[in-house]
Amino acid sequence: MKQKLPFNSPALQQIDSEAEDIISSRLTHLDQLRDDIRALEERLKSASIPFTLVYVLSSEESSYEGVAGLDYEGITPLTVVTEYKDSCIVWGKGEHDEYRLSHQIFITKDETDHYYDQKGIKVNEKLCNAGNPVLSFSKPLLETKSQFRLQIENELPHFYSRIVTALKVLPNEDFLVFYSPNKTSPNFSMIELRGSKK
């Protein structure tokens, strides 16, 4: 631990004396949380858990307009891109084919053509490209920022419980998706709907 630099200002010294217990308690909490994550990862490694488990924390959906497509029978389609973002805790293979706990974000993009007549009235729409989940971010859970680890602290018991459930009732599956009980809509993630085996 770095040596704490002293304050010269009496006012800062006073505040620092009041903050000492609060800061010390926070640092202890972060250390304990890091140790819990390390212990959970080591427990799973030692048990040689053989499957990938994706635990979906949250799913977000957003849309934006793409470029207009080619004319079709005098009607010009406007492409609308819908992006689905799934934030997950994952037990699965990382670098060097080693199983680890990680925070992963998957992005799925759908493209839908919206057809408008010359008066600007929509006359049809067609899904022209249903994307597959693409891994856009991955970091070992132990290396994530402390604020994220604090956010998922209450998720870890649920995650571990899903691992145990999978071992008991789904031991022969190689890819599983579970959801946080705190997850809000949409009800299903694109990872489950379209699959993301790697």
Q: Cis omega before residue 186 (within 30°)?
A: yes
| Cβ atoms of 77 and 66 closer than 8 Å | no
Would residue 3 count as lying in a domain? no
Would residue 82 count as lying in a domain? yes
In this prediction, residue 7 has a pLDDT band, given cuts at 50, 70 and 90, of confident
Q: How far apart are CA 138 and CA 13, in angstroms?
A: 41
Would residue 186 count as lying in a domain? yes
Q: How far apart are CA 131 and CA 20, in angstroms?
A: 51
Would residue 130 count as lying in a domain? yes
Q: Which pLDDT does position 72 carry in this prediction?
A: 54
Q: Which pLDDT does position 185 carry in this prediction?
A: 65
Q: How far apart are CA 73 and CA 35, in angstroms?
A: 63
**Across residues 137-156, what is the average pLDDT?**
95
Find the domain containing 121 and state its range.
10-194
Q: Which pLDDT does position 198 carry in this prediction?
A: 43
* 152: pLDDT strictly greater than 90: yes
Encoded tokens for 3: 């040596």
Would residue 59 count as lying in a domain? yes
> What's the domain count of the chain?
1
Would residue 1 count as lying in a domain? no
pLDDT tens digits along 61-75: 888 776 655 555 556
Greater pLDDT, 139 or 129: 139
Would residue 118 count as lying in a domain? yes
pLDDT tens digits along 37-55: 999 999 999 999 889 999 9
Give burial (CB, 10 Å; 0-12/13-18/19+) of 191. Answer: buried
- DSSP per position, 43-75: HHHHTT--SEEEEEEEEEEEEEEEEE---BTTB
In the three-class reduction of DSSP (H, G, I as helix; E, B as strand; rest coil), residue 86 is classed as strand
In this prediction, residue 178 has a pLDDT band, given cuts at 50, 70 and 90, of very high
Would residue 2 count as lying in a domain? no
In the three-class reduction of DSSP (H, G, I as helix; E, B as strand; rest coil), residue 103 is classed as strand
Which of 80-84, 106-110, 125-129, 145-149 shows the highest mean pLDDT?
145-149
Q: Which pLDDT does position 76 carry in this prediction?
A: 66
Among candidate residues 32, 103, 105, 111, the one with its CA nearest the CA of residue 78: 111
**Across residues 16-30, what is the average pLDDT?**
90
| Cβ atoms of 90 and 69 closer than 8 Å | no
